């Protein structure tokens, strides 16, 4: 009997005991092809030796030194590496232990920035429905994932949500992509006017929406208009690239493809690739200088910020991405995987949309393709797909509530950047069988 409170205590999980490239091996010796990197984490697979060696070497030198007393070499080197490649204006880094902490940090930096400027009346964050920013209370408050929020609703801080940029379902037939993007970006302006622009701190969005919608990029022009509105009203733009960042979409930062730069950017999963728990908040020079030139210090901190071993692991991951030209590989394999998904599911009566960027792809399931009618949420089609994929020896990341937080099913794919061509075929093959079996099961209930 387990002593762990598992995510789903009624389910019996296999025990993972080893990793081999993009595969995880369980205690029975069964191999699972990791087509989702867990939750878009394991971008180098599960046995990448140079990263393991870098972590071991750091452990031999110095595992950890509290950042209230010392800085350390790996965190300084990792910060240098990130800022050298970061979108324009981002000049400093704050290292955390994961994505939720990174977003909490961004929210607090944003608030302190305005506090330093004497604009203490600014208190609101605007974010989007159908988003996820983490499970700590601040991050959950700005998130727009109804299922994850429901129990905690009475204790969340108030936040204001506008529409996501979700063209498959919300663009009108008569609208061009650009017109649709402009319309939904302008919801930000309307919300600012409703709240009073000088009461708002910032706008928070996932550059490419991950787990809640299933790899949905914005339409062209959307983020440019968002940036314009933020500048016009003097609020901060906070981009959450916890899932979409660090090469997942084919560029190191997902917003590189939007030709805009945020004031604060968070990343986590692909930063350490799962070899160590780590997240980061990248900070504009303007925010940094206002705080340091004002009260002098950011009123924040966790015991494990700037953890030496975590940073050494993440530095090795980031050096590998560059040394082995893995961003090119993401583009190449991403193209192959997209093509294979279109070939296999492009005309499937129950796959309504195939979308995403790089190796960050999503399939949305529908009961009826023409009307985009989702399956009855009570059927939990997404849960069947996850179960049947695991039976097949495939990890994918299905989710429900895609349409409105209640109905809708999707499958998110985010395989390691190191997958080979044969594994692209294996993903599509196994996923195809898992989806067909799941459809048969839900139809029989
Ligand atoms: C976009 C996004 N932000 C934040 C988080 C929270 O990250 P963590 O689970 O590392 O706290 C996640 C996790 O899935 C995420 O996808």
- CA dist 429 and 278 (Å) reads 33
Of all protein residues, the one whose alpha carbon is nearest to atom 8 of ligand 1 is 99
pLDDT of res. 241: 99
Q: Which residue has the tokens 């190796």?
A: 359
Mutate which of 143, 212, 242, 245 for ligand 1? The one with the most ligand atoms within 8 Å of its CB, which is 242
Q: Whose CA is nearest to atom 3 of ligand 1?
A: 133
Q: Whats the size of the chain, residue-wise?
A: 445
- Per-block mean pLDDT, blocks of 10 residues, the chain (445 long): 94 97 98 98 98 98 98 98 98 98 98 98 98 98 94 96 98 97 98 98 98 98 98 98 98 98 98 98 98 98 98 98 98 98 98 98 98 98 98 98 96 98 98 98 95
Torsion 248-327-87-83 (CA) sign: positive
d(CA 199, CA 220): 29
Ligand 1 center–CA 15 separation, angstroms: 23
**Every domain range in the chain assigned CATH 3.40.640.10:** 51-323
Residues 6+ apart with CB under 8 A from 338: 354, 356, 361
Give the per-residue pLDDT at 445: 87
Are 42 and 274 in contact by the 8 Å Cβ rule? The answer is yes
User: Check: CATH 3.40.640.10 for 51-323?
Assistant: yes
> Packing angle between helix 381-392 and helix 421-444, nearest 10 degrees?
130
List where CATH 3.90.1150.10 sits in the chain: 16-34+325-444
Measured from the Cα of 99, ligand 1's closest atom is 7
28, 55, 59 from 317: Cα distances, Å: 30, 10, 16
CA–CA distance, 13 with 32 (Å, rounded to integer)? 13
Mutate to test the pocket of ligand 1, among 37, 95, 130, 269 (most ligand atoms within 8 A of CB): 269
The residue to mutate among 36, 99, 127, 360, having the most atoms of ligand 1 within 8 angstroms of its beta carbon, is 99
Going from the Cα of 244 to the center of ligand 1, the distance in angstroms, rounded, reads: 10
The pLDDT of residue 161? 98
Nearest Cα neighbor of 206 from 251, 242, 252 is 242
pLDDT computed for residue 1 by the predictor: 86
**Rg of the chain on CA atoms, in Å:** 21
Question: For the CA atoms of 382, 385, 390, 391, what is the dihedral angle to 10 degrees?
Answer: 140
Ligand 1, atom 16: nearest CA belongs to which residue?
A: 243
Q: What is the DSSP string of 359-408?
A: TEEEEEE-SBTTTTBPPPGGG-HHHHHHHHHHHHTEE-EEEE-TTTSSS-
Ligand 1 — pocket residues by CB below 6 A?
39, 98-100, 103, 132-134, 206, 210-211, 240, 242-243, 268
Report the atom number in ligand 1 closest to the C-alpha of 134: 6
Nearest residue (CA) to ligand 1, atom 5: 134
Q: Which CATH number fits domain 16-34+325-444: 3.30.70.260, 1.10.287.130, 3.90.1150.10, 3.90.1300.10?
A: 3.90.1150.10
């Amino acid at each position: 009997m387990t002593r762990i409170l598992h995510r789903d205590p009624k389910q019996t999980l296999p025990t993972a005991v080893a990793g081999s490239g993009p595969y995880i091996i369980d205690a029975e010796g069964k191999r699972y092809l990791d087509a989702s990197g867990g939750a878009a984490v394991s971008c180098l697979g599960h046995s990448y030796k140079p990263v393991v060696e870098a972590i071991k070497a750091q452990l031999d030198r110095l595992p950890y030194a509290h950042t209230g007393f010392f800085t350390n070499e790996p965190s300084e080197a990792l910060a240098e590496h990130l800022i050298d490649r970061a979108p324009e204006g981002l000049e400093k880094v704050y290292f955390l232990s994961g994505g939720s902490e990174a977003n909490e940090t961004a929210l607090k930096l944003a608030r302190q920035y305005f506090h330093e400027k004497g604009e203490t009346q600014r208190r609101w964050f605007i974010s989007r429905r159908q988003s996820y920013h983490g499970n700590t209370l601040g991050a959950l408050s700005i998130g727009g994932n109804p299922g994850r929020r429901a129990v905690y609703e009475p204790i969340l801080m108030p936040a204001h949500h506008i529409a996501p940029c979700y063209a498959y379902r919300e663009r009108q037939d008569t609208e061009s992509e650009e017109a649709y993007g402009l319309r939904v970006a302008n919801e930000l302006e309307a919300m600012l006017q409703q709240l009073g622009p000088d009461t708002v701190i910032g706008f928070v969005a996932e550059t490419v929406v991950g787990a809640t919608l299933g790899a949905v990029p914005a339409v062209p022009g959307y983020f440019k208009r968002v940036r314009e509105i933020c500048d016009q009203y003097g609020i901060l733009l906070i981009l959450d690239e916890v899932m979409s960042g660090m090469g997942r979409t084919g560029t190191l930062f997902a917003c590189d493809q939007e030709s805009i730069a945020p004031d604060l950017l968070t990343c986590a999963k692909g930063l350490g690739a799962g070899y160590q728990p780590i997240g980061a908040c990248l900070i504009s020079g303007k925010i940094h200088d206002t705080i340091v030139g004002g009260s002098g210090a950011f009123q924040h901190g966790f015991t494990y910020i700037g953890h030496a071993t975590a940073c050494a692991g993440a530095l090795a991951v980031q050096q590998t991405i560059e040394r082995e030209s893995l961003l090119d590989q993401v583009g190449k394999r991403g193209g192959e995987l997209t093509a294979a998904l279109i070939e296999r599911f492009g005309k499937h009566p129950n796959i309504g949309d195939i979308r995403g960027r790089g190796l960050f792809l999503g399939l949305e399931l529908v009961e009826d393709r023409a009307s985009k009618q989702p399956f009855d949420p009570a059927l939990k089609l997404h849960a069947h797909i996850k179960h049947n994929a695991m039976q097949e020896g495939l990890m994918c990341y299905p989710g429900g509530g895609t349409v409105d937080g209640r109905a809708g099913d999707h499958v998110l794919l985010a395989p390691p950047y190191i997958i080979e061509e044969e594994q692209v075929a294996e993903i599509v093959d196994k996923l195809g069988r898992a989806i067909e079996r799941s459809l048969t099961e839900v139809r029989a209930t």
